[in-house]
Structure 1
Amino acid sequence: MTAPFRYPRFFVTAPSPCPYLPGREERKVFTELNGQHAGELNDALGRIGFRRSQSVAYRPSCVGCSACVSVRVVAGEFRPNNSQRKLIRRHSDLEVHACRPWATGEQFDLLRRYLASRHPGGGMATMDEGDYADMVEQSPVNSFVVEYREPAVDGKRGRLVAACITDQQADGLSMIYSFFDTEDASRPSLGNFVIMDHILRARAAGLEYVYLGYWVKGSQRMAYKARYRPIEVLGPDGWAPFDPDVDTVPVHAPRVPAFA
């Protein structure tokens, strides 16, 4: 008999077209999150740039390219600028609820409209309701679906206008995936509001960071992540303050720890 693995095993995906930079290929290193210590492992991997998708933690491991860098907002030091303060006031009437990770038809309908508007040719465009349920419910860690609703009317709960699948880690909130109404002109910039709401809630809860995933210099799809300051980037020497308008992007990702 062979002894059970005590430490995670890492695997690498086959190369595929990069969704952010034309003409490049992406490759990921990943491991499975399971067992009673899945949350601790996810926290540890999150601090070295991994992201969670269902029961898998992954990170880019592309040959000859290190454009994707992990970024996080320092929640306790965040100070919204004038336009951000106006946006917070604009949506201050929304009711926010951290719900258990259970998929609903209402959430899926909102996601479907969001994908059709923002990412019609993306890899998620063909998701069905079962795929969405897997995305939400297959979480071995402390996860929520944070819902943003308009005020209740006559005892009926308000319309769902935004949602975010969120993990609570030991040192912060990790925004796994957010989606929102893109068509209601009375609710502008909901995606930006959801991020700021997470930052303010993390600060109120005494959590240090909000993890935003990967920022890619030169990718318009990722440009919004640079709007929230102060921001830190993960480089070869760990996390450090970063000004995307001035600083050079780290050219090497931190090494995956050698679990023995």
Structure 2
Amino acid sequence: MTANASIRLYQTAEHGCGYWPGRTARDLVLDPHDAQLPELYAGALAMGFRRSGAHVYRPHCPGCRACVALRIPAAAFVPDRSQRRCLRRNADLTLHIAPARRSDEHFALYRRYLECRHPGGGMDNAMPEDFDLFLACSWSPTRFLELRRDGRLLGVAVTDVLPDALSAVYTFFEPDEATRGLGTFAILQQLRWAREEGRRYLYLGYWIAGHPKMDYKIRFRPHERLQGGLWVEHR
């Protein structure tokens, strides 16, 4: 956000932590009704915020700072051996950048993914309006990066497109194709997209040390973590 910009900031009530069962969490949220929000979004990402639906938020939990914002400098990134294998394994896929509009095809894949990956977690009975409220909003610069094989949709990487960066909002993919590593492949393609268009960073949201669902993020190197208000490089 620019030095002369101002926007109301709200603190949520305590709620259940989405990462650690039994813990409570609290967020800081930028005013979702402020007309400046589209212009301030890129700066908010650089300050450790993230978008979910129409809300731009940052964890602000009492006594816990486990969530660490992480981004990858696109030009400096070098895939490791495992990531190069992932690229070869998915060389038969085609990519298409599409408007962020829900289709029956998108929603059916989204439902299959949630039912397999998050059974009983509250997201596995999603309705079309849940899809819309979670992944996009009227002001967000969002695109769907579609992964297809012979026309069949295998994955969608929901991506916000900013002047200097891309932000990986959410990725869902065909659960029957788990051996392909489509989550990793989607990030590799978002990095390629960022490089080709001269964008400096790919934001990956939050990393939590020791959380099994977060470890994949630190395998992309070099990356930067927001620590003490500064982005610190890790190789």
- The equivalent of 1:141 in structure 2 is 140
Q: Report if the CA contact (8 A) 1:38-1:141 is conserved.
A: no
Aligned-residue offset at 1:145: 1.2
Tell me, yes or no, if structure 1 residue 216 matches structure 2 residue 205.
no
Counterparts of 2:233 and 2:122, CA distance in 1: 32
| 2:156 equivalent among 156, 163, 174 | 163
Three-state SS of the structure 2 residue aligned to 1:141 is coil
Aligned-residue offset at 1:33: 4.0
Aligned-residue offset at 1:34: 4.8
Q: Any gaps of 5 or more consecutive residues in structure 2?
A: none
Three-state SS of the structure 2 residue aligned to 1:217 is coil
- The equivalent of 2:104 in structure 1 is 105
Tell me, yes or no, if structure 1 residue 175 matches structure 2 residue 168.
yes
- The equivalent of 1:201 in structure 2 is 193
Three-state SS of the structure 2 residue aligned to 1:226 is helix
Three-state SS of the structure 1 residue aligned to 2:96 is strand
- The equivalent of 1:253 in structure 2 is none
Aligned-residue offset at 1:85: 1.0
- The equivalent of 2:231 in structure 1 is 239
Q: Report if the CA contact (8 A) 1:50-1:59 is conserved.
A: yes
- The equivalent of 1:114 in structure 2 is 113
Q: Report if the CA contact (8 A) 2:72-2:223 is conserved.
A: yes
Three-state SS of the structure 1 residue aligned to 2:70 is strand
Three-state SS of the structure 2 residue aligned to 1:87 is helix
* AA matched with 1:91: N
Tell me, yes or no, if structure 1 residue 189 matches structure 2 residue 181.
yes
* AA matched with 2:180: P
Counterparts of 1:147 and 1:51, CA distance in 2: 22
* AA matched with 2:175: T
Larger CA Rg, structure 1 vs 2: 1
Q: Any gaps of 5 or more consecutive residues in structure 1?
A: 1-5, 152-157, 244-260
* Gap change, CA 1:16 and 1:197, over 3 Å in 2: same
Aligned-residue offset at 1:79: 0.9
* AA matched with 1:235: Q
* Gap change, CA 1:136 and 1:23, over 3 Å in 2: closer
* Gap change, CA 1:80 and 1:118, over 3 Å in 2: same
Tell me, yes or no, if structure 1 residue 68 matches structure 2 residue 60.
no
Number of residues paired by the alignment?
Answer: 231
Aligned-residue offset at 1:218: 1.4
Three-state SS of the structure 1 residue aligned to 2:205 is strand
Counterparts of 2:33 and 2:92, CA distance in 1: 39
- The equivalent of 1:24 in structure 2 is 23
Give the % identical residues: 39
* AA matched with 1:14: A
Q: Report if the CA contact (8 A) 1:33-1:42 is conserved.
A: no
* AA matched with 2:84: R
Counterparts of 1:200 and 1:137, CA distance in 2: 22
Aligned-residue offset at 1:170: 2.2
Which range moves more in the overlay, 194-203 or 126-135? Answer: 126-135
Counterparts of 1:133 and 1:57, CA distance in 2: 16
* AA matched with 2:204: L
Three-state SS of the structure 2 residue aligned to 1:39 is helix
* Gap change, CA 1:32 and 1:125, over 3 Å in 2: farther
Three-state SS of the structure 1 residue aligned to 2:83 is helix
Alignment of 1:15-94 (within 5 A): 15-34=14-33, 37-94=36-93
TM, length-normalised to structure 1: 0.83
Counterparts of 1:36 and 1:94, CA distance in 2: 39
Aligned-residue offset at 1:204: 1.4
